[in-house]
């Protein structure tokens, strides 16, 4: 029996991935020099497909990093002199905050309890704040921040840069990049790819800040600072020898998603989320962990009253791999990934198996 991975990342491979890997090997992609014309052409396709799929305008650059955590570090290092504010509502947003602390920035945090989101409009942003960091979809708790609230946050603080972790909401999230200065994700969640590549989307304002910091004599890092990343991006190359196979696969899968239609993908994710949430809302014992306003569509967290181990292991026997709760809440919750790779019919089978 073949397992279906409803885990929240790494997760189920997008269905076309095995074929693309076979083609990559056939065509010698893993052996390509990152200075070759063939690499440049391949990378141009990846950029072009990503821009179309996510609606990334020409005002924003596309950089590669090793992972999303690296993207967090590069973001803070390249855009903050001293003052950064973090919205913390789970483990990944806390990790983002910790990175600012490790980089010796004067980081402050706004906290809400597990399982809720922020009312951005009600929070006063200190005047000196240079960058606001938040996680669009907190994978650890299943909280998704409505993007309308993000727009309101930018409207009331137009001069503060916004950095958004969209690791577990891309490509579902329909982002208005005119209000986002920096956004990033890694590929092993919504894109259904093997781990090992991060993508950072960065506007000119963030780049100018990196330049200003550099000229001031403040460290912005070395080979992966925004200025170096931009210098090589302009040639569709990278400073280091990158994960060429991952860049190839990302371009191909983004192309497949374009062909299917991003709006169809979003509709299907909504449909599957409704199936899962309705099922658990009506369940005698288990309940969604998050109130409707903040409930994630892509990483759904269910309160299973301490029976997580039992549920996870029973489903595994039927070939459905789901995640337990994150960290301290390992026993309390189950987490179900709802990504483009998951078919409606598989979700129905999963819910049937839970019954």
Ligand X SMILES: *Cc1c(COP(=O)(O)O)cnc(C)c1O
**Closer CB to ligand X, 11 or 78, in the complex:** 11
Distance (Å, whole) CA 352 – CA 355: 5
Distance (Å, whole) CA 319 – CA 156: 48
Q: In the complex, what is the shortest distance from the CB of residue 184 to ligand X, in angstroms, rounded to a whole number? A: 9
Instruction: Give the C-alpha distances (Å, rounded to integers) separating 224 from 85, 178, 211, 231, 252.
Output: 23, 24, 13, 10, 25
HEC states along 311-338? HHHHHHHCCEECEECCHHHCCCEEEEEC
> In the 8-state DSSP scheme, what is residue 180?
-
**Closer CB to ligand X, 16 or 186, in the complex:** 186
**Closer CB to ligand X, 85 or 351, in the complex:** 85
Q: In the complex, what is the shortest distance from the CB of residue 183 to ligand X, in angstroms, rounded to a whole number? A: 12
Q: In the complex, what is the shortest distance from the CB of residue 90 to ligand X, in angstroms, rounded to a whole number? A: 8
Q: In the complex, what is the shortest distance from the CB of residue 194 to ligand X, in angstroms, rounded to a whole number? A: 11
**Closer CB to ligand X, 20 or 136, in the complex:** 136
| Pair type for strands 320-321 and 4-5 | parallel
Q: In the complex, what is the shortest distance from the CB of residue 272 to ligand X, in angstroms, rounded to a whole number? A: 18
**Closer CB to ligand X, 32 or 131, in the complex:** 131
Positions touching ligand X (CB under 6 A) are 9, 67-69, 92, 135, 139, 165, 167-168, 186
Largest separation between any pair of C-alpha atoms in the chain: 62
Burial 51-86 (b: 16+ CB within 10 A, else e): bebbebeeebbbbbbbbbbbbbbbbbbbbbeebbbb
Q: In the complex, what is the shortest distance from the CB of residue 137 to ligand X, in angstroms, rounded to a whole number? A: 6
**Closer CB to ligand X, 136 or 252, in the complex:** 136
Distance (Å, whole) CA 253 – CA 251: 6
């Amino acid at each position: 029996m073949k397992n279906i991975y409803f885990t929240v990342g790494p997760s189920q491979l997008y269905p076309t991935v095995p074929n693309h890997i076979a083609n990559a090997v056939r065509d010698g992609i893993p052996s390509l020099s990152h200075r070759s014309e063939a690499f440049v052409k391949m990378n141009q396709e990846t950029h072009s497909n990503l821009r179309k799929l996510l609606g990334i305008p020409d005002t924003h650059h596309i950089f590669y990093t090793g992972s999303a955590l690296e993207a967090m570090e590069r973001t803070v290092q390249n855009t903050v002199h001293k003052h950064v504010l973090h919205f913390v509502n789970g483990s990944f947003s806390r990790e983002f905050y910790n990175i600012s602390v490790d980089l010796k920035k004067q980081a402050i945090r706004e906290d809400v309890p597990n399982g809720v989101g922020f009312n951005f409009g009600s929070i006063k942003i200190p005047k000196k704040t240079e960058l606001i960091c938040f996680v669009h979809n907190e994978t650890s708790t299943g909280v998704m921040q409505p993007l309308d609230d993000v727009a309101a946050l930018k409207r009331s603080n137009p001069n503060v840069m916004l950095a958004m972790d969209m690791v577990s909401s891309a490509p579902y999230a329909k982002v208005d990049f005119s209000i986002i200065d920096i956004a990033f994700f890694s590929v092993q969640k919504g894109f259904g790819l093997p781990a090992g590549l991060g993508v950072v989307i960065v506007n000119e304002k963030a780049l100018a800040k990196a330049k200003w910091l550099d000229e001031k004599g403040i460290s912005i890092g070395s080979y992966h600072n925004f200025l170096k990343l931009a210098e090589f991006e302009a040639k569709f190359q990278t400073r280091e020898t990158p994960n060429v196979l991952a860049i190839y696969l990302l371009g191909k899968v983004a192309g497949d998603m374009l062909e299917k239609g991003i709006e169809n993908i979003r509709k299907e994710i909504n449909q599957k989320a409704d199936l899962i949430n309705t099922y658990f809302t009506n369940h005698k014992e288990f309940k969604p962990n998050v109130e409707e306003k903040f409930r994630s569509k892509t990483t759904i967290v269910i309160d299973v009253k301490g029976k997580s181990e039992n549920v996870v292991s029973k489903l595994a026997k039927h070939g459905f791999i789901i995640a337990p709760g994150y960290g301290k809440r390992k026993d309390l919750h189950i987490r179900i990934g709802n990504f483009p790779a998951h078919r409606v019919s598989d979700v129905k089978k999963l819910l049937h198996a839970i019954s």
